[in-house]
Homo-oligomer: A and B are copies of this chain.
Amino acid sequence: MSVTFLPVRGLPEIRPNDNLAHILAQALRDDCTSGDVLVVTQKVVSKAEGRLVPLDTVEPSPFAVTFAQAWGRDPRHIEVVLRESRRVLRMGPGGLIISETHHGLVCAHAGVDLSNVDGGGSACLLPVDPDASAERLHVALSNTLGFPLPVIISDSFGRAWRNGIVNVAIGVAGMLATTDHRGKKDTAGYELHATLLATADAIAAGTDLVTGKTDAVPAVLVRGVAWQSGDGHGQDLVMESTRNLFP
């Protein structure tokens, strides 16, 4: 069975209070078939949800000012990053901050992004609850289309020990986020002890290949994945603190 990633074309620029589900449904109507998974980038979900903070409204703390000045960063951006963080893991060269967001996601700059937003005048925050955002899109689109359409909300994360970014799934609805092969036997009859596949992350990662960071392709249909229906969440991919070896 092959798997195909299809960019969703023709979406307008998304703005606060846009009905994203309605806009996506219009764009998908002719292209989407039962069994597809829809991946939507965090950026358009956040924009539609109004998760934009004009930088000129941000009063940076002394801590944010000190760190930003040391690395030539905008103190207002650093301030927003700190507000979106539950805790900081590392503050590195170049003004890089690796922190844990209020959702438990560990990533650079708490997912706060200046790019692709109003020419840089606003910071774009992650959705308040990416799983709830995915669920709303999943329910609305499934109702409109007449079949269940799983929805993944993606964001591009750096990784420990590896260069470059890949997309991961920060919100999931309408499918299981992982595929559990633990306890199954492989073709040699040997038990696979540790094989929990991060299915939603694998789907999100593949969308990098069709979106392009400078193009405006904020949604991708993925066809042919043997996804499992169920009440999966992006939070299922967030490692429990008790298992975290890199706190």
> Contact between B3 and A188 (Cβ–Cβ < 8 Å)?
no
25 intermolecular pairs with C-beta atoms under 8 Å apart: A2-B210, A3-B206, A3-B210, A4-B5, A5-B206, A115-B191, A115-B192, A115-B193, A119-B189, A119-B190, A160-B245, A161-B238, A161-B244, A162-B168, A162-B238, A164-B196, A165-B197, A166-B201, A181-B213, A184-B214, A185-B214, A199-B208, A203-B209, A205-B206, A209-B225
Out of B92, B98, B164, which one reaches A178, CB within 8 Å? B164
Q: Given that A159-B159, A203-B209, A208-B199 are known contacts, is A116 also in contact with B164, CB under 8 Å in the complex? A: no
A contacts with B, residue count (CB < 8 A) = 74
A45: CB under 8 A from chain B? no
A194: CB under 8 A from chain B? yes
A186 to B218, CA, bound (A): 13
> Contact between B4 and A239 (Cβ–Cβ < 8 Å)?
no
A30: CB under 8 A from chain B? no
Beta-carbon contacts under 8 Å, A191-247 to B: 191-199, 201-203, 205-206, 208-210, 213-216, 222, 224-226, 236-239, 244-246
* Residues in B neighbouring A105, C-beta threshold 8 A: 161
Q: Which of A159, A191, A214 has the most CB of B within 10 A?
A: A159
Number of copies: 2
Interface residues of A (CB under 8 A from B): 1-7, 89-90, 92, 96, 98, 105-106, 108, 114-120, 156, 159-168, 178, 181, 184-199, 201-203, 205-206, 208-210, 213-216, 222, 224-226, 236-239, 244-246
